[in-house]
Amino acid sequence: MRITVLTGGASAERTVAFAGAAQIVEALRGRGHKVEVVDTVTGLLSPGDERQLLTGAVGREPPSVAELDAREREFLSNGLSKLDAVKGADVLLLCLHAGRGEGGTLQAILDVIGAPYTGSGAMASALAMDKDLSKRLFRAAGVPVPAWFMAPVAPEDVTTALGWPAIVKPSRMGSSVGMTLVRSAKGLDPAVELARQYDSEVMVEQFIPGRELTVGVLGDVPLPVGEIVPKHELFDYECKYTPGMSEEIFPAKLDTKLARQLQELALAAHRALKLGGYSRVDFRLSPDGDIFCLEANTLPGMTRTSLLPQAARAAGVEFPELCERICRLAGNSGSRRGGNI
Q: Which residues are catalytic?
A: 13, 175, 241, 280, 282, 295, 297, 301
Q: What is the length of the chain? A: 341
Among 36, 205, 236, 282, binds Mg ion (CB under 5 A): 282
Per partner kind, with CB cut-offs from 5 to 8 A, the member of Mg ion, ligand ADP, none near residue 235 is ligand ADP
Number of residues that bind ligand ADP (CB under 6 A): 18
| Residue number with CB closer to ligand ADP (125 or 206) | 206
State how far the alpha carbon of 208 is from the alpha carbons of 4, 205, 211, in Å.
40, 9, 9
For 130-166, give one letter per residue: b (16+ CB within 10 A) or e: bbebbbebbeeeebebbebbebebebeebeeebebbb
Q: Is 105 in the site for ligand ADP (CB under 6 A)?
A: no
Task: Give the burial class of 297: count Cβ atoms within 10 A of its Cβ; 0-12 exposed, 13-18 middle, 19 or more buried.
Answer: buried
What CA–CA distance (Å, rounded) separates 237 from 174?
Answer: 9
Write down the least CB distance from residue 297 to ligand ADP, Å. Answer: 7
Q: Is 212 in the site for ligand ADP (CB under 6 A)?
A: yes
What CA–CA distance (Å, rounded) separates 262 from 224?
Answer: 10
| Residue number with CB closer to Mg ion (130 or 282) | 282
Residues numbered 155 to 194 that lie near ligand ADP (CB under 6 A) are 167, 173-176, 179
| Residue number with CB closer to ligand ADP (234 or 315) | 234
| Residue number with CB closer to Mg ion (25 or 166) | 166
**Do the Cβ atoms of 216 and 314 come closer than 8 Å?**
no
Write down the least CB distance from residue 240 to ligand ADP, Å. Answer: 8
Q: Is 102 in the site for ligand ADP (CB under 6 A)?
A: no
Residues numbered 237 to 296 that lie near ligand ADP (CB under 6 A) are 282, 284, 294-295
Binding site for ligand ADP (CB under 6 A): 146, 167, 173-176, 179, 205-208, 212, 234-235, 282, 284, 294-295
